[in-house]
Structure 1
């Protein structure tokens, strides 16, 4: 009789264990968490489609479970819809398992739980720098979409965040997709081939050695669908002015192309000569087509004229010198691209032997195209160009030259033209390598700081000019 209570409780324990083991696993249609993965992603308030593009591919080093913290709403749903689209596509589907927390205290909740070790930030830029500071202060790594700072006060906060990241041994890195575009890569390679390029031309403010420009469009397609933009995207206080937003890509390319693997000291190496900003008009009908909103919100009313036209802060220009090299940089936004085209990029590097020019106009069928424009008249110059490109083809098999009236068109095989969305995976691969090594290249941090100094200082100058 004394053994009956023991047998009774033993029997209950067997039932409990059986019930627990027989329960169906949550999300059983998804692959299990990869506990051996090095990286566990956290997505924080994904208000921009770039947050999803980071997950358009799978990576062996990244756990398939991603922790999402956001206040909820349409932007979060748009993000989750893109992830779902990638998971369900026919060709090479992903298998992300999104664990979502929605509440107004999402940031504090994420910082307290620390369920991952790399935080992806892509959304409203008004508080992004503050979030970056809190994340690195908590000992978490950051992969941040551009821009990481949209004004001078943000810049001071970001500079301090880099110091905190170094102290805490975490990586703070921004997503610079344009470094992965093949024409930019080859332009950089040829700019450092003296037989082809010579040396960089001296240039002046009125005749700069570097001219770089991008044109973006509000109405565009992402992953095959028309992009819906949040209404705050049109607010310079939340998205940022053009030169402080997409202008960061251009500033980065200039630094990366002209002075690769070189630490830039913004206090000595950068001088802003002039800067200006101007608006792009967007009608209420155009605004509605992009945002699905039927009226301009109150925070945009200061920029609305005649009740129906929004004067969007969408264009900017900077004239500056980088280590003495005169640069003219222009970032512009229009409403919709010409049929068959999209965002465009232009870059001219002036050398003593040749100019290297990337065009993306109608003549190029709106595809980035690299030209070598001959300036040298030496009898053996053509052979030098041919030899240089042949040597370069050992690194990039298949590239060749086609003679034209001005010099040569660089022929690039289609296999290298992967497109903007694929560049996010290439950035992630670089970041994962840095994560594995537990450090960024020595020049990356000072060059990121220099980049954001250039954009925010130029905006400060342009804003004062606009108000005078």
Structure 2
């Protein structure tokens, strides 16, 4: 299909259909038909960076005409036109003001992908599952405590309608994190997870991100609303979604977390990142701040974005801390970074990603008490890891061991979107999610939205104002 410029985008009529998923499958041979709703974030395109055997190449896109939509279509065109493993997506676009209503009525597909402006995302999710669509949504599904109950209800509605509601947790497919989880399940090496204290948590995850970055080989153009926390969400409810998810996924693998009984907030805080007008212009391709951002601008030239946050909390009595920091641009040769530690009774499992690691995530096993006995247990347990991850090895250091990971496992963040999609498709085929996924998503979003409320209580006014 020819990709159209914004000026030439057709408001394409969408014919309502009552064809069942089974009928659609008989017609095309593909059981999954994607719909992309209002794509404003580049993650919407990354889901389609690969092709999938069970997914129809025709994707219906419902969105308002504008630069967000055009950037999405341009990315798809890039994937279709690349020399190596080109995709074959065909986008059928509807840009009428009633795009949401048209999507719900037309039922042109059975899976709705959402990655964009988060202000209405919870509403979109609720309407989609109520209409019988499966939903694969980028994080965060909800950005404030006021909509938490609506998200909870959306999960209940999805269950009644026998559809799936799932979020895109790419970090579960980062190999150093996968191996950190794997080593933590080896009692002869890790022991058991410590309980920790608020001042010395048993689990800490810290993430540093950058507004100016490269995606698919080009400098990422960010929509201006990305810097508006009423539309994107504050940092404490955005990237921390991944970190809270990983704590649940690693510390309590395949276990249900009940947010009412298992989650206890201890403390939370938030702070701003300053961005000059010229920096803002460089990443948005605009000339100055739009009116809706002027509430966050001081001295007419510095935008203050509440993109940073920290949460101290307990999960089943285990003290944990997550924090996210957004800088404007990474140092030369660096990128987004991640630090993580799980403290066990026999060893600590630590992911570092600094200059010493050449900004590549690297996992270390550091024993509490070393010696020949621990080394013998570690080497014996390594064989268990190698059965699942062939080629993984250990390199002895002064303080412990570095986990040596073959390059074949190091796919990179963009490739993880295909892994999430493949996982989701397997759940669709099976007709159900693992029993712990839904309660744990609810627990995760309770943690982030409640933390935002707590942080606002601790610091009700913007810094610098």
Give the structure-2-normalised TM-score. 0.93
Q: Is the 8 A contact 1:64 1:95 kept in 2?
A: yes
Following superposition, the deviation at residue 359 of structure 1 comes to: 0.4
Q: CA deviation at 1:34?
A: 7.4
Structure 1 length-normalised TM = 0.92
Q: Which residue does 1:320 correspond to in 2?
A: 313
Q: Measure how far apart 1:279 and its partner are.
A: 0.2
How large is the RMSD of aligned CA atoms in angstroms? 1.0
Conservation of the 8 A alpha-carbon contact between 1:352 and 1:376: no
Contact 1:34 1:64 in 2 (8 A): no
SS in 2 for 1:440: coil
Aligned counterpart in structure 1 of residue 48 of structure 2, from 45, 49, 55 = 55
Match among 251, 255, 259 for residue 258 of structure 1: 251
Structure 1 residue runs of 5 or longer lacking an equivalent are 1-32
Contact 1:53 1:424 in 2 (8 A): yes
Whether 1:433 and 2:433 are equivalent positions in the alignment is no
Distance in 2 of aligned mates of 1:88 and 1:34: 27
Map 1:209-248; keep pairs closer than 5 Å: 209-248=202-241
Unaligned runs of 5+ in 2: 1-25
Structure 2 residue corresponding to 1:149, chosen from 142, 145, 156 = 142
Give the Cα separation in 2 of the matches to 1:376 and 1:169: 51
- Of the three residues 19, 28, 38, the one matched with 1:35 is 28
Structure 1 residue matching 2:84: 3-state secondary structure: coil
1:303 Cα deviation after fit: 1.1
**Please, which of 108, 117, 123 is the counterpart of residue 124 of structure 1?**
117
Aligned to 1:389: 382
Partner of 1:133: 126
* Shift, 1:262, TM fit: 0.5
How far has the Cα of 1:389 moved from its partner? 1.4
Q: Which of 356, 360, 376 is the aligned partner of 2:349?
A: 356
Taking the TM superposition and a 5 Å limit, the aligned residue runs for 1:447-458 are: 447-458=440-451
Deviations 1:381-427 (A, max 9, x none): 10111111122112111110001011000000000000000000000
SS in 2 for 1:237: coil
Superposed CA deviations along residues 305-328 of structure 1, whole A, max 9, x for unmatched, are 111111111100000000100001
Give the Cα separation in 2 of the matches to 1:433 and 1:279: 40
Structure 1 Cα separation of the partners of residues 384 and 144 of structure 2: 44
SS at match of 2:388: coil
Aligned residue in 2 for 1:44:
37
- Provide the rounded CA distance (Å) in 1 between the counterparts of 2:399 and 2:296: 45
2:173 is equivalent to residue 180 of structure 1: yes
In the alignment, is residue 158 of structure 1 matched against residue 151 of structure 2?
A: yes
The answer to whether 1:344 aligns with 2:333 is no
How far the C-alpha of 1:200 sits from its partner, in A, is: 1.1
| Structure 1 moving runs of 4+ over 6 Å | none
If you compute each CA radius of gyration, which structure gives the higher value, 1 or 2? 1
The 2-side partners of 1:466 and 1:279 are apart by 11
Alignment deviations for residues 80-109 of structure 1 (CA, whole Å, 9 cap, x no partner): 000000001000100001000111110001
Aligned counterpart, 2:105: 112
- Paired with 2:387 and 2:167, the residues of 1 have a C-alpha distance of 30
By how many angstroms is 1:251 displaced? 0.3
Task: Give how far 1:377 is off.
Answer: 3.6
